[in-house]
Amino acid sequence: MESVYVLQPGAYLQREGHSLKVVKGGEVIDEIPMEGLKRLTLMGYVSLTGGVLDSLITNRVETVFMTPSGRFRARLVLDEHRHVELRMAQYERLGSGDFALETAKIIVKGKLRNMTRFLLLRARQYNDQRLRTGAARIKSMERAVDMLPDIEKLRGLEGNASKIYFKLFSRLIRNPLFEFRGRNKRPPLDPVNALLSFVYTMLTNEVLSAIKAVGLDPYLGSLHTIEYGRPSLACDLVEEYRCFLGDRLVLGLVNRKVISP
């Protein structure tokens, strides 16, 4: 297992041989083999012993600490990648307005294309004309991307497409126990938005780990502006896959009644 998430509040980790034991209430409730482990995410108030910390560092396991609501708290940082030339090339290319704009256009077109496909799939599944109409509107916006002259107009178009998509999102929810009245965050105000934010955070963390592994700077992207503490490149690369990875997972959990509000 490359990535493991510990979601049990109040649990603690202890080392035993080549495994980590997840303990709660004095009982071992799970076991995590160290072999092959690359990323460990701890949700909420999960504690660990000094032996576990030493093992994570020795085995170079990237460890992320999240709040109970799924927001990032801290990361156990290992030695940074030493590929200076690669990062210098990244700064040079993304420092060029033309390259950054073209890269951002590729990301936005991919996101809008996947939004369109996702809505059309559900439109056929539910025989819903409003989903088809929304997909057609987003498709037309995708065709307009190449004509945009600057990054600000591109961000505006991407934001408008997302508004259309999330206005239709409630039609994708087929569980009467859940309501969705629009996308909100920081903090999310309802269970569906909380799930979306949580899954998006998990996706971003996975992408962030991959970026760091190859030696790129995750804090410099093209579509997302530079903001202190925000991994803009990771946020950029997640955009294209939100629908088919994040939203599909959330809708599956909700519509199949795997979870309750």
261: in domain: no
Residues 140 and 251 in one domain: yes
Residue 227 has phi, psi (to 5 degrees) of -145, 135
Average pLDDT over residues 201-205: 89
- Cα–Cα distance between 210 and 233 in angstroms, integer? 11
Residues 158 and 230 in one domain: yes
In 3D space, the residue among 161, 164, 173, 183 whose CA is nearest the CA of residue 240 turns out to be 161
Q: pLDDT grade, residue 7 (50/70/90)?
A: confident
Residues 126 and 217 in one domain: yes
Average pLDDT over residues 143-157: 95
Q: Tell me which DSSP letter residue 73 carries.
A: E
- What does the angle CA 218 – CA 224 – CA 225 come to, to the nearest 5 degrees? 95
Largest CA distance in the chain: 62
Average pLDDT over residues 92-117: 95
Tell me, what's the pLDDT at 114? 97
Residues 45 and 148 in one domain: no
Residues 91 and 65 in one domain: no
Tell me, what's the pLDDT at 205? 86
Beta bridge partners of 42: 6, 65
11: in domain: yes
* pTM (2 d.p.): 0.82
In 3D space, the residue among 257, 223, 228, 231 whose CA is nearest the CA of residue 103 turns out to be 223
Q: Is the pLDDT of residue 81 over 70?
A: no
Q: Residue 23 is part of a domain; what is its CATH number?
A: 3.100.10.20
Q: Among residues 33, 60, 76, which one ends one of the domains?
A: 76
Taking residue 51's Cβ as centre, other Cβ atoms within 10 Å add up to: 13
Q: Is the dihedral of CA 235, 80, 73, 63 positive or negative?
A: positive
Q: Is the pLDDT of residue 86 over 80?
A: yes
pLDDT digits (tens, 9 = 90+) for 33-66: 888 888 888 888 888 888 888 888 888 888 888 8
Tell me, what's the pLDDT at 79? 63
Task: Kindly state the percentage of the chain with pLDDT values over 70.
Answer: 97
Residues 127 and 99 in one domain: yes
Task: Supply the range of the domain harboring residue 30.
Answer: 3-76
Range from 24-33, 131-140, 185-194 that averages highest in pLDDT: 131-140
225: in domain: yes
Residues 22 and 106 in one domain: no
Q: Is the pLDDT of residue 97 over 90?
A: no
260: in domain: no
> Hey, what's the torsion of the CAs at 221, 222, 224, 229, to 10 degrees?
20
Tokens of 12: 């603690």
- Cα–Cα distance between 7 and 56 in angstroms, integer? 18
Q: How many domains does the chain have?
A: 2
Average pLDDT over residues 131-152: 96
Q: Is the pLDDT of residue 80 over 70?
A: no
pLDDT digits (tens, 9 = 90+) for 10-41: 888 988 888 898 988 888 888 888 888 888 88
Residues 68 and 187 in one domain: no
State the burial class of residue 208 (Cβ atoms within 10 Å of its Cβ: 0-12, 13-18, 19+): buried
Q: Residue 105 is part of a domain; what is its CATH number?
A: 1.20.120.920
Residues 236 and 151 in one domain: yes
Which residue pairs, CB below 8 angstroms and at least 24 apart, start in 110-114?
A: 110/239, 110/240, 111/158, 111/161, 111/239, 111/240, 111/242, 111/243, 112/138, 112/139, 112/141, 112/142, 112/145, 112/158, 112/161, 113/142, 114/240, 114/241, 114/242, 114/243, 114/244
- Cα–Cα distance between 243 and 252 in angstroms, integer? 12
> Hey, what's the torsion of the CAs at 245, 246, 251, 252, to 10 degrees?
50
150: in domain: yes
Residues 15 and 133 in one domain: no
Tell me, what's the pLDDT at 149? 94
